[in-house]
Each structure stands twice: as structure tokens, then as C-alpha cells.
């Protein structure tokens, strides 16, 4: 008798009125495991074989799932595995940063099909909105040229930009994108593209990318510590991205740090350990063309100014990791960044030894801290993954509402 292999999947429900949730559970299981038979899906999701068969047939008709060649296991009946169809759905992700905007188009399994970027002119959305709409249109045109039925299967537009959102912002604060924060961005993009649009902060977008195709793939409890112009934490809790009551959960960069011997003034974490703090430390203009290349050169030659910033930032982030572990009890913390890969790796290597915390357990299956994406495109990728997630990932908050409505 063959030993049954473990399959990563959430549980479905056989109650009435939950077919949409069960479809999402099946799609999620196939994304996590690659390919599964109907028997595998029934066992992993705890759905009846008939329910699984009905959903598989529906997904095949919708062009989201395809059957593969039958596989014989031992002396039993051969089983037919199924996998997702990458061209079953597409999405576009948009990153808006202070000086640049990036757009990415992905398929159902997160493969990047198109990427494009443009510089944002000074003046905020008054001039930048048209640049962004033109970039999205260019991305859609490129996608339509390489994927059949791309427009028909385009599920939405995800947007990511630095938070926090909905606060009273000082227009003179260089750390905040005040003009963009106060601009009717979602309405403008929805009207200009005809797509369903959703907004998240850049740290949450990076976490979405890690969950879909990165280090958080298949992990139910992870926190992505994102080092960008500022600092944020993308929270994956119970297998879902947690945004908080106002979309601002994880704004760890705004946590105030007490004075220390090396830094006598009280300051927020992002004022001490973000890329913006590095630019200030070096006297560099963040809009400088080729800044990443210059940073690569400085890191490679062990520039003293960069090295001192890494030491100071690592000390602050070591405390930040301990705070995250204590509050959220994640399976792992993933360090992500939009900065150069070599710089982020040096920073990652400088953070240990980690401080004692509740995460320091002998039965760990994942490291307390690991290196995630270090790609300037990771935020746009996460933004693109959000509409895919919104359309196809299980949402237990939705199933609870369904049950509450049925009871009421």
C-alpha cells in the first residue's frame, strides 16, 4: 500500500451556499501543489468526491483547470491529475513610487508576461496620472499581443504605493507622498481603464508576491519586513493578507525608537534603517539616474559610509524582527527590499544574532529570518498578484459572512 503524501490545502465545506469558496479552495490547492488528482483534492480539502468532481468539471469548462495524462500508482486504478491553466486569468499590477512607476502583467500562476516602467514628472498626480494611464495602456496592449483572450480574462488592476493611508499629512514631509495620498487615485484609474481597482501599501504588495511565488508560498503565518524608501511589514496571518481596519496594518516603520548611545535623538525605525535614511547618510538624491548601480559599486568596494549605515540599520532591524515575532508569532520573518540585491544581502547578513524571543523554538521548520525578494519589480509583482488573489484565493471572512447571512 502506497503511503499518502502530504498535500498543502485549506479545508472546504460541504454546506450549501459555499460553492464559490470551494472553487477557491481547489484553485489554491492546485497552485500550492502543482498538480493533484480528484482523490488527492478530496482528501486534502475534506470535500466529498462528488463535490470535487463537480467543481473540477466547472473549472475545466471555465478554462481554469486542465487534465493531464493518467498516472498508474501501484496496482490500483490509474488517476488523472489536474493543474491550473496559466492563461485562465491575467492581472496587471502598478507600483507608484516617488520618482518612478512600474507596471507588470501576470497570468494565473504568477508568471510575469509584461513589464514596463516610466519616470514620474515633478508635480505629483497633476502630471503623473496621465503617465500612469499611458503605462497601463501600453502594458495591456503588450499583453494582448502575446496572450489569447487576455482582455476577456483580465480580472483587475492592483495598485501599490507607500502608506499610510487616510491620515492628515504634512505636505512638507519628505517621507510622505502627500499629493498622491490626497488624490482620487482609484476613481481615476477605474475610469481610465474600465478595470476593477484595489489599493494596498508597498509592504503588503511585497508580501502578496512572496505568498504567490516567493518565500511565503504555502506558509500560513509569515511577516514580510519590507525595506524600501520607508519601512513596512506585510502581514500574512492564517493564510490571508491582513490589512487592518484602515489598510494601514504593518506600518512598523513609524514605530518610535528610544534614544541610544549611538543615536541620541528619538526617531522612527524608517528614519534609521530605510533606503531613504541611506540616501540621507550618503547625501544622495533618490531621483538620481543610476543610483542603484552606484550603490552596487559602493557595496562591492566596501565603502565605509555604506558599511556604517548597514551596521546601524542592522542593529535597529534586529530589534524590529524581535518585535514582529513577539506580536505576531509568525512561522518566519522574510526580509524584502526594493534596493539592490547585494546591499540587501549584506544587511540581511548583518542582522544576526537575533534577539531572544518566543520564536526561538527547537521544533522550528523554517528559519526565524530569511531573505526574500530583492527586486525593484517585486512591489509591482505583488500588486499584480492582488487581483488574482482577490478573484481566486479562499477568503474565510467571506465564508463566515455567507454562513451568517444563511442563519439570519
Rounded CA separation 278/294 (Å): 13
Task: Kindly give the residue spans of alpha helices, DSSP state H, lying in 108-226.
Answer: 125-146, 178-181, 185-193, 202-213
What pLDDT shows up at residue 286?
Answer: 87
CA-based nearest residue to 18, from 55, 44, 49: 55
Rounded CA separation 281/84 (Å): 48
Q: What are phi and psi of 227, to 5 degrees?
A: -105, 105
pTM: 0.86
Rounded CA separation 213/215 (Å): 7
From first to last of its 408 residues, what are the pLDDT tens digits of the chain?
Answer: 445 667 767 666 555 447 788 999 999 999 889 899 999 999 999 999 999 999 999 999 999 999 998 887 766 678 899 999 999 999 999 999 988 999 999 999 999 999 999 999 987 898 999 999 999 999 999 999 999 899 999 999 999 999 888 777 665 566 668 788 889 999 999 999 999 999 999 999 999 999 888 999 889 999 999 999 999 999 999 988 999 988 899 999 999 988 766 777 888 999 999 999 999 999 999 888 889 999 999 999 999 999 999 999 999 999 999 999 999 999 999 999 999 999 999 999 999 999 999 999 999 999 999 999 998 899 999 999 999 988 998 765 544 444 334 333
**Sign for the pseudo-dihedral over CA of 25, 30, 33, 36:** positive
CB neighbours of residue 366 within 10 Å: 16
- Residue 162, Cβ density class (10 Å: 0-12 exposed, 13-18 middle, ≥19 buried): buried
Write out the H or E segment, with its range, that includes residue 71.
none
Rounded CA separation 310/324 (Å): 20
> What is the side-by-side strand order in the sheet with 35-37?
35-37, 81-84, 65-67
What pLDDT shows up at residue 261?
Answer: 65
Residue 91 cell numbers, joined? 492581472
What pLDDT shows up at residue 405?
Answer: 40
Rounded CA separation 196/266 (Å): 42
Q: Taking a C-beta distance cutoff of 8 angstroms, is the pair 292, 376 a contact? A: yes
Domains and CATH numbers, the chain: 1-84 (1.10.10.10), 88-207+381-392 (3.30.420.40), 215-375 (3.30.420.40)
CA-based nearest residue to 347, from 225, 198, 171, 188: 225
Rounded CA separation 223/216 (Å): 9
CB neighbours of residue 66 within 10 Å: 15
Q: Per-residue b/e over 1-28, b at no fewer than 16 CB within 10 Å?
A: eeeeeeeebbebbeeeebeebbbbbbbb
Amino acid at each position: 500500500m502506497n503511503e499518502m503524501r502530504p498535500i498543502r490545502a485549506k479545508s472546504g465545506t460541504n454546506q450549501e451556499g459555499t460553492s464559490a469558496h470551494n472553487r477557491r479552495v481547489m484553485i489554491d490547492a492546485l497552485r500550492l501543489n502543482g498538480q493533484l488528482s480528484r482523490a488527492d483534492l478530496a482528501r486534502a480539502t475534506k470535500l466529498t468526491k462528488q463535490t470535487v468532481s463537480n467543481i473540477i468539471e466547472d473549472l475545466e469548462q471555465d478554462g481554469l483547470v486542465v487534465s493531464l495524462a493518467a498516472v498508474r500508482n501501484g496496482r490500483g486504478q490509474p488517476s488523472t491529475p489536474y493543474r491550473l491553466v496559466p492563461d485562465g486569468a491575467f492581472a496587471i499590477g502598478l507600483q507608484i513610487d516617488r520618482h518612478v512607476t512600474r507596471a507588470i502583467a501576470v497570468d494565473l500562476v504568477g508568471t510575469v508576461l509584461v513589464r514596463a516602467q516610466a519616470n514620474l514628472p515633478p508635480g505629483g498626480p497633476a502630471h503623473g496620472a496621465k503617465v500612469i494611464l499611458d503605462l497601463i495602456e501600453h502594458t495591456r496592449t503588450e499583453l494582448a499581443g502575446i496572450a489569447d483572450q487576455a482582455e476577456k480574462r483580465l480580472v483587475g488592476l492592483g495598485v501599490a504605493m507607500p502608506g499610510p493611508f487616510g491620515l492628515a499629512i504634512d505636505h512638507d514631509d519628505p517621507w510622505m507622498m502627500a499629493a498622491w495620498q490626497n488624490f482620487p487615485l482609484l476613481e481615476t484609474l477605474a475610469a481610465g481603464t474600465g478595470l476593477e481597482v484595489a489599493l494596498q501599501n508597498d509592504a503588503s504588495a511585497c508580501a502578496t508576491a512572496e505568498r504567490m511565488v516567493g518565500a511565503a508560498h504555502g506558509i500560513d503565518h509569515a511577516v514580510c519586513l519590507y525595506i524600501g524608501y520607508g519601512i513596512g511589514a506585510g502581514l500574512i496571518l492564517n493564510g490571508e493578507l491582513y490589512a487592518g481596519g484602515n489598510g494601514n496594518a504593518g506600518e512598523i516603520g513609524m514605530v518610535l525608537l528610544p534614544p541610544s548611545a549611538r543615536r541620541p535623538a528619538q526617531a522612527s525605525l524608517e528614519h534609521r534603517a530605510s533606503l531613504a535614511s541611506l540616501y540621507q547618510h550618503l547625501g544622495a538624491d533618490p531621483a538620481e539616474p543610476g543610483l542603484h548601480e552606484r550603490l552596487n559599486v559602493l557595496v562591492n568596494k566596501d565603502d565605509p559610509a555604506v558599511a556604517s549605515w548597514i551596521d546601524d540599520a542592522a542593529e535597529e532591524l534586529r530589534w524590529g524582527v524581535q518585535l514582529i515575532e513577539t506580536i505576531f508569532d509568525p512561522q518566519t520573518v522574510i526580509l524584502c527590499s526594493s534596493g539592490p540585491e547585494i546591499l540587501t544581502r549584506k544587511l540581511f547578513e548583518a542582522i544576526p544574532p537575533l534577539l531572544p524571543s518566543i520564536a526561538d523554538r527547537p521544533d522550528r521548520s523554517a528559519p526565524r529570518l530569511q531573505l526574500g525578494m530583492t527586486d525593484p519589480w517585486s512591489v509591482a509583482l505583488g500588486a499584480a498578484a492582488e487581483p488574482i488573489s482577490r478573484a481566486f484565493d479562499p477568503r474565510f471572512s467571506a465564508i463566515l459572512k455567507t454562513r451568517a447571512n444563511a442563519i439570519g
